[in-house]
Amino acid sequence: MATQARIAAGPGEMMGNAGSGILAGLRVIEIADERAEYTGLLLAGLGAEVIKIEPPEGNATRRIGPFFEDKPGLERSLFFWNYNRNKKSVVLDLDDGRRREDLLRLLGGAEAFVDDTIQSFRNIALSLIGSVPSFGLDVLKAEQARLEQRLQRFGDCADAMDIWRAKDIFDAEAVPIMSSSDFIDLANRDGDPRYDAR
């Protein structure tokens, strides 16, 4: 427990919840810049738990614009937000020997490690696909049924506002301007099932 307490939270909360997916239950550690953040994004979108390791000053991509409301800042990079959604963030100063031990502990509990090379992406993709539980015809049929159910409910929706209205969210127009904590609370109160067909 004391070891966990030493790991600081990331410079900012990364929003998003891809929900369960084909890689659900698998952990990926990412130390990447703009060349490889997309790899982690894809894996997170498929359900993997992606933990992004950032230096104390924040990842360099937090300084890439454009910025929210055109005001630069570590928490305002739209580039960073886009490529790091559905990820967790942990700050580790890898120049500190104790933090390197924390990194080794994280890597020990992970199925894959993402860094900044194309070969790394290929290796990770092949490795994770090989560790996915059975994905046969029955699972595909169940996924198709789930997709058809969602299309029946939301197929006529033109945008996210229509979806929020269809979900009977009070004051749907306020959702885009909610604070991240209010949005997460709303998402957690949402009664729709979050599952895949496996």
Domain-located, residue 163: yes
Average pLDDT over residues 114-131: 68
Specify whether 64 is located in the same domain as 155.
no
pLDDT category, 7, cuts 50, 70, 90?
A: very low
Specify whether 96 is located in the same domain as 151.
no
Specify whether 44 is located in the same domain as 106.
yes
Average pLDDT over residues 15-29: 74
Residues 6+ apart with CB under 8 A from 52: 10, 14, 30, 31, 32, 37, 40, 59, 84, 87, 88, 89, 90
Specify whether 119 is located in the same domain as 93.
yes
Task: Tell me the per-residue pLDDT of 38-94, one tens digit each, with 9 for 90 and over.
Answer: 888 988 988 899 999 999 999 989 999 999 999 999 999 999 999 999 999 999 988
Strands 8-9 and 87-91, how do they pair?
antiparallel
H or E, element range at 49? strand 49-54
What confidence score (pLDDT) does residue 129 get?
62
Q: Identify the residue with better confidence: 159 or 197.
A: 159
Specify whether 184 is located in the same domain as 95.
no
Cis peptide, bond prior to residue 72, ω within 30 of zero: no
Please tell me the total count of domains within the chain.
Answer: 2
What confidence score (pLDDT) does residue 38 get?
87
Decide if pLDDT at 113 tops 60.
yes
Specify whether 114 is located in the same domain as 146.
no
Share of the chain above pLDDT 70, in %: 75
Domain-located, residue 197: no
Domain-located, residue 158: yes
Domain-located, residue 125: yes
Structural domain span for residue 161: 137-189
**pTM for this prediction:** 0.56
Task: Tell me the per-residue pLDDT of 171-187, one tens digit each, with 9 for 90 and over.
Answer: 878 877 877 777 777 77
Decide if pLDDT at 2 tops 80.
no
Q: Identify the residue with better confidence: 103 or 18.
A: 103
Per the listing, tokens 């120049």 go with: 95
Specify whether 92 is located in the same domain as 142.
no
Domain-located, residue 171: yes
32: nearest Cα among 47, 43, 21, 22? 43
Decide if pLDDT at 125 tops 70.
no
Domain-located, residue 195: no
pLDDT category, 11, cuts 50, 70, 90?
A: very low
Domain-located, residue 153: yes
Specify whether 64 is located in the same domain as 86.
yes
H or E, element range at 123? helix 118-130
Specify whether 6 is located in the same domain as 71.
yes
**Are 179 and 166 contacting, i.e. CB atoms less than 8 angstroms apart?**
no
CA separation for the pair 120, 70 (Å, rounded): 34
Specify whether 141 is located in the same domain as 126.
no
Specify whether 185 is located in the same domain as 163.
yes
